[in-house]
C-alpha cells in the first residue's frame, strides 16, 4: 500500500529525513518510535504532503502511484489520513459542518454527488457512538476550547468518518488520560480491516498496549535504525533509547 | 468647473428654492462656507493620510439626481433582510420610495428627515438635536448644506422597538454619475431599545458617491444596535460619517461589514456623556480587487466607569488597501475607564496593503486601556490541517478567513443578519463549502 524508498527530506535547508525505507501492506499496523527530534513527525507530514518539507531524494508510492507531486488534499482523496499531534482550532465551524465539507469535497474529487443529508447524519451518529462522543460536542466549533483528550478523540472521529486506507497517528496518545486512551485505541481497532493500514507514531510504548503493532521501527537521526516486532517496543520502554544511539554511533 | 465649485454653485441654486426658514438656512449657509473654506480633504491631513479621494472626485456627479427609475420590490428583495418583519425607510436616488417602505407614527416616529425638517411639530427636536454632534469638518458640512432627506427616527422612553429598522439607499442613475448626501437623525429616549440596519446599494454601472451623515442620540439606559452592511458595486463609493452621543448607562454597538464598494471610508465617532456607558465597535472587512476600506474611529470617554470595546478584523486580497485609524481619548475626569481596541489583519496577496494606527490620548491615571494590532498571513499549519482532510486549498483558505473573522459575528444579535453576512462572506470568498457558513 505504502512504499517509501530512500526518502530524504529537509525543511529550510536542514536535512531531517536521511534515507527512510518503509513498506506497509494492507491489514498491517506499523509503529514508529524514536527519541525526540529523530524525525518522526516530519515523516508523518511528508507522507501527508506538507509543503514546508522538501523531498530532496527518494520516492513515496501509494498503491503503486508516485505521490510526491500530489497536493495534500489529493493525497487525502486517495485515502491517506493524518491524525495531528496538535489539531488546529477553527472558530465558527462546527465539527459536523467541518465533516460535511471534508466528506463532500472528497466525494466531489471522486466525481460523486454530495452525500444525502440523511445519510450524513446517520454516519455521524454511528461514528460518534463508536468514539463515545456526545451529540452536543458535534455542534461545537472545531477544536475550540477542546481539552487535549477531546481533540485527540475528535481526530479519530474524523478518521472514522473519512475511512482512510492509511491512517497515520502522530503522537495520538500524548495528552490522553487512560480512559480517553482506551476509547481512542478501541475506535482505531474497530476501524481496522484487512484492507486498511495504520502507522502509529509514538514516543512511548503505552499506546501500543492497546493498538498492537505487527512491526515496530526505531527512527533515529532521520533513519530507521532498527525494526522488529512488538517486543522491540517493550524493550525500548524498559531500556530507553540510549542503547540504540550507542549501537548506531558505534 | 471642478466638483467643489459645482457643489457650491448648485448649493445656492438649491437654497434659493427652499422655503423661508431662517433657522435651517443659517445652518446650511454656514455649512457650505465651511466646505468652501476647507474643500475636500487631501492626504496632507493626518486623518486622510492613507486615503485619497482623488480618483472618486474626478467624476462629473449630478448633485441633484433625478429619480430615473422605479424599482420593483422583487428586483431588490435580496438587498433587504426579508425573512423577518422590519420597518423600512427606503430611498431611490435620494428620494423617498414609499412603495418599498414601511414607516410608522404609532407611538414613535419612524419616518423621513424631509418631514422632520419641514413640519412644525418636529421643530423642537430638530432644534435640540439636528447638527449638534456632527463635526464641522468639510465632508460633514457638505452633507449639512445639502441635507434634506434621510431617515428620521424618534423613539420615546420605555419603548422596546420589536422590529429592526432598515434604512436602504438605492441608486439607479442611468446616464451619469450620482452624488448622494443622505442625512439621518435618530433619537432614542430613556430605557428604549432599537435595532438599525443600514445599507447603500448601487443598481447602476455609473459611478455613485454617497456622503452620508448620521446623528444618533442615545439617552439614559437605552440600548441601540446598529448594523452597517457595505457590499456595494465596484463603481460605488461611500463616505459614512456617524456621530453617536451616549448618556448614562446606555449601550451602543455598531457592526460594520465592509465587503464591497470602490472606496469606503467609515468615520465612526462615539461621545460618552455620563457614567456606566458601554460603546462597542466591531468590524469585518473582506476586500479584493483595487478596493479601499478605511475605518476611522473615535471614542471619547469623558466620565468615570465607562467602557469601550473595539474589534476590527480585515482580510485583504489582490490590490486592495485597508486602513484602521482608531483613536481613544480618556479625559482626566474619566477614571476607571476600560477601553480596549484590537485590529487584526490578514494579507492574502503580496500587493495588498494595510495601514493600521492606534492613537491613545489618556489623561486619567486609573484606567485600563489596551490596544493591539497584528498583520499576518494565513496560518500554514492550519491550512495543512484542513487540506489533509481533503478540503482543497481555495476552500480551506476560505474557511480559515471565515474562522478569523468569526468572533466579530458572534456579537450580532439578529440571526438573519448573521446568516446574511455568512452568505456574503462565502460569496465573496467564491466558495461553496457544502454548508451555509
The single-letter DSSP state of residue B246 is E
Q: Name the DSSP class of B125.
A: H
Chain-wide mean pLDDT for chain A? 93
Cβ contact (<8 Å) for A90 and B388?
no
CB of B418 less than 8 A from some CB of A? no
Euclidean distance between the first and the last CA atom of chain B, given in angstroms as a whole number: 49
> A78 to chain B: nearest residue by CA?
B390
Select the residue from A74, A102, A113 to test the B interface by mutation, using most B Cβ atoms within 10 A: A102
| Selection from B417, B435, B344 nearest residue B86 by Cα | B417
Residue corresponding to grid cell 450620482: B178
B435 Cα to chain A: minimum distance (Å): 7
Q: What are B382-394's pLDDT values in tens digits?
A: 999 999 999 999 9
Round to whole Å and give the CA distance between B277 and B251: 6
Residue B231 pLDDT exceeds 90: yes
pLDDT 10s digits, A49-63: 999 999 999 999 999
Q: Write out pLDDT tens, residues B211-224.
A: 999 999 999 999 99
| Separation in Å, CA of B76 to nearest CA in chain A | 30
Q: Name the average pLDDT for chain B.
A: 93
Q: How confident is the model at residue A205, as a pLDDT?
A: 86
Domain ranges of chain B: 73-133+147-385, 386-437
B187's grid cell: 433619537
- Determine contact, residues B206/B173, Cβ cutoff 8 Å: yes
- Please check the confidence at residue B432 and state whether its pLDDT lies above 80: no
User: In chain A, what residues touch B385 (CB-CB under 8 Å)?
Assistant: 84, 87-88
> What ipTM, to 2 d.p.?
0.96
Q: Which of A50, A91, A109 sits opposite B403 (nearest CB)?
A: A91
Name A230's Cβ contacts closer than 8 Å, sequence gap at least 6.
A31, A208, A212, A213, A214, A216
User: Is the model's pLDDT at A240 over the cut of 90?
Assistant: no
pLDDT tens profile B131-184? 999 999 999 999 999 998 999 999 999 999 999 999 999 999 776 899 999 999
Interface of B with A in 373-402 (CB under 8 A): 379-382, 384-393, 395-396, 399-400, 402
**H or E segment and range at residue A202:** strand A197-202
Check residue A76 and give its pLDDT: 98
Interface list for A 124-163 with B (CB within 8 A): 141, 158, 162
Quote the percentage of chain B above a pLDDT of 90.
82
CB of A191 within 8 Å of any CB in chain B? no
Q: Measured between CB atoms, does B403 come within 8 Å of chain A? A: yes
Cβ contact, residue pair B385, A50, below 8 Å: no
Helix, coil or strand: residue B396: helix
Mean of pLDDT values over B407-431: 87
**Local confidence band at A163 (pLDDT 50, 70, 90 cut-offs):** very high
**A71–B399 C-beta distance less than 8 A:** no
Q: Provide, as residue numbers in chain B, all residues whose Cβ is less than 8 Å from the Cβ of A115.
A: none
Helix (H, G, I), strand (E, B) or coil at B387: helix
Amino acid B437: pLDDT? 52
In chain A the domains, ranked by start, together with CATH numbers, are 2-249 (3.40.50.300)
User: What is the C-alpha end-to-end distance of chain A, expressed in Å?
Assistant: 34
Q: At residue B318, does pLDDT exceed 60? A: yes
Query: Which grid coordinates belong to B143?
Result: 452633507
The predicted structure's pLDDT at residue B19: 60
* Closest Cβ–Cβ partner in B385, B393, B402 for A84: B385
The pLDDT value recorded for residue A177 is 87
CA-closest candidate to residue A44, choices A153, A160, A169: A169
Best of B388, B396, B410, B411 to substitute, by most chain A Cβ atoms within 10 angstroms, is B388
Give the distance from CA B251 to its chain's centroid: 18
B342-377 residue pLDDT tens: 999 999 999 999 999 999 999 999 999 999 999 999
Dist. CA A86–CA B51, nearest whole Å? 42
Between A38-47, A209-218, B189-198, B416-425, the lowest mean confidence (pLDDT) is in B416-425
The reported pLDDT for the residue numbered B17 is 63
* Cell numbers representing residue B327 in the block: 483613536
Q: Is A52 on the interface with B (CB under 8 A)?
A: yes
CB contact under 8 A, B387 and A72: yes
Distance from C-alpha of A104 to C-alpha of B403, rounded to nearest angstrom: 20
Residue to mutate among A44, A84, A87, A88, with most B CBs inside 10 A, is: A88
Instruction: Please give the model's pTM, rounded to 2 decimal places.
Output: 0.88
Q: By the CB < 8 Å criterion, does B434 face chain A?
A: yes
Q: What is the pLDDT, as a whole number, of residue A73? A: 97
pLDDT in tens, A184-234: 999 999 999 999 999 999 988 889 999 999 999 999 999 999 999 999 999
Amino acid at each position: 500500500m505504502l512504499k517509501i524508498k530512500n526518502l530524504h527530506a529537509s525543511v529550510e535547508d536542514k536535512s531531517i529525513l536521511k534515507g527512510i525505507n518503509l513498506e506497509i501492506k494492507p491489514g498491517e499496523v506499523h509503529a514508529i518510535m524514536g527519541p525526540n527530534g529523530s524525525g518522526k513527525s516530519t515523516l508523518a507530514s511528508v507522507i501527508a504532503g506538507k509543503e514546508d518539507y522538501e523531498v530532496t531524494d527518494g520516492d513515496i508510492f501509494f498503491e503503486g502511484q508516485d505521490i510526491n507531486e500530489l497536493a495534500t488534499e489529493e493525497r487525502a482523496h486517495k485515502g491517506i489520513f493524518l491524525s495531528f499531534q496538535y489539531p488546529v482550532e477553527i472558530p465558527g465551524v462546527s465539527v459536523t459542518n467541518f465533516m460535511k465539507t471534508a466528506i463532500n469535497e472528497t466525494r466531489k474529487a471522486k466525481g460523486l454527488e454530495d452525500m444525502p443529508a440523511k445519510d450524513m447524519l446517520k454516519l455521524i451518529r454511528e461514528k460518534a457512538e463508536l468514539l463515545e462522543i456526545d451529540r452536543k460536542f458535534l455542534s461545537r466549533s472545531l477544536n475550540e476550547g477542546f481539552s487535549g483528550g477531546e481533540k485527540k478523540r475528535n481526530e479519530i472521529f474524523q478518521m472514522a468518518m473519512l475511512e482512510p486506507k492509511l491512517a497515520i497517528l502522530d503522537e495520538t496518545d500524548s495528552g490522553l488520560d487512560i480512559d480517553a486512551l482506551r476509547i481512542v485505541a478501541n475506535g482505531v481497532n474497530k476501524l481496522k480491516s484487512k484492507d486498511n493500514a495504520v502507522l502509529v507514531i509514538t514516543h512511548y510504548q503505552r499506546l501500543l498496549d492497546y493498538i498492537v503493532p505487527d512491526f515496530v521501527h526505531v527512527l533515529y537521526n532521520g533513519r530507521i535504525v532498527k525494526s522488529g516486532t512488538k517486543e522491540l517496543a517493550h524493550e525500548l520502554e524498559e531500556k530507553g533509547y540510549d542503547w540504540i544511539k550507542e549501537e548506531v554511533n558505534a | 468647473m471642478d466638483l467643489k465649485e459645482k457643489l457650491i454653485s448648485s448649493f445656492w441654486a438649491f437654497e434659493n428654492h427652499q422655503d423661508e426658514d431662517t433657522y435651517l438656512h443659517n445652518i446650511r449657509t454656514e455649512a457650505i462656507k465651511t466646505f468652501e473654506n476647507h474643500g475636500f480633504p487631501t492626504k496632507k491631513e493626518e486623518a486622510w493620510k492613507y486615503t485619497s479621494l482623488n480618483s472618486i472626485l474626478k467624476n462629473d456627479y449630478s448633485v441633484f439626481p433625478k429619480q430615473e427609475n422605479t424599482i420593483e420590490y422583487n428586483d431588490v428583495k435580496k438587498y433587504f433582510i426579508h425573512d423577518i418583519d422590519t420597518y423600512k425607510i427606503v430611498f431611490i436616488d435620494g428620494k423617498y420610495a414609499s412603495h418599498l417602505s414601511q414607516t410608522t407614527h404609532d407611538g414613535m416616529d419612524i419616518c423621513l428627515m424631509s418631514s422632520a425638517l419641514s413640519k412644525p411639530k418636529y421643530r423642537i427636536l430638530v432644534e435640540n438635536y439636528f447638527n449638534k454632534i456632527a463635526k464641522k469638518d468639510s465632508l460633514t458640512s457638505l452633507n449639512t448644506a445639502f441635507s434634506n432627506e434621510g431617515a428620521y427616527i424618534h423613539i420615546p422612553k420605555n419603548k422596546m422597538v420589536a422590529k429592526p429598522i432598515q434604512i436602504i439607499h438605492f441608486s439607479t442613475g442611468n446616464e451619469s454619475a450620482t452624488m448622494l448626501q443622505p442625512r439621518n437623525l435618530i433619537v432614542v429616549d430613556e430605557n428604549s431599545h432599537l435595532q438599525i440596519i443600514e445599507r447603500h446599494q448601487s443598481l447602476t454601472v455609473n459611478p455613485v458617491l454617497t456622503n452620508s451623515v448620521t446623528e444618533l442620540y442615545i439617552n439614559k439606559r437605552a440600548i441601540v444596535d446598529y448594523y452597517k452592511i457595505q457590499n456595494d458595486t465596484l463603481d460605488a463609493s461611500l463616505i459614512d460619517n456617524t456621530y453617536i452621543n451616549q448618556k448614562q448607562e446606555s449601550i451602543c454597538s455598531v457592526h460594520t461589514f465592509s465587503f464591497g464598494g470602490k472606496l469606503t471610508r467609515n468615520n465612526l465617532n462615539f461621545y460618552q456623556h455620563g457614567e456606566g456607558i458601554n460603546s462597542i465597535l466591531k468590524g469585518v472587512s473582506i476586500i479584493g480587487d483595487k478596493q479601499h476600506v478605511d475605518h476611522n474611529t473615535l471614542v471619547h470617554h469623558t466620565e468615570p466607569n465607562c467602557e469601550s470595546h473595539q474589534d476590527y478584523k480585515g482580510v485583504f486580497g489582490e490590490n486592495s488597501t485597508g486602513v484602521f485609524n482608531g483613536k481613544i481619548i480618556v479625559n482626566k475626569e474619566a477614571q476607571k475607564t476600560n477601553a480596549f481596541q484590537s485590529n487584526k489583519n490578514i494579507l492574502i496577496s503580496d500587493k495588498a496593503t494595510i495601514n493600521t494606527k492606534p492613537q491613545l490620548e489618556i489623561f486619567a491615571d486609573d484606567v485600563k486601556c489596551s490596544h493591539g494590532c497584528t498583520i499576518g498571513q494565513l496560518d500554514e499549519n492550519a491550512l495543512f490541517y484542513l487540506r489533509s482532510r481533503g478540503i482543497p486549498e481555495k476552500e480551506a483558505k476560505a474557511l480559515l478567513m471565515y474562522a478569523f473573522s468569526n468572533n466579530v459575528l458572534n456579537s450580532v444579535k439578529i440571526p438573519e443578519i448573521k446568516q446574511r453576512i455568512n452568505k456574503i462572506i462565502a460569496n465573496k470568498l467564491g466558495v461553496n463549502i457544502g454548508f451555509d457558513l
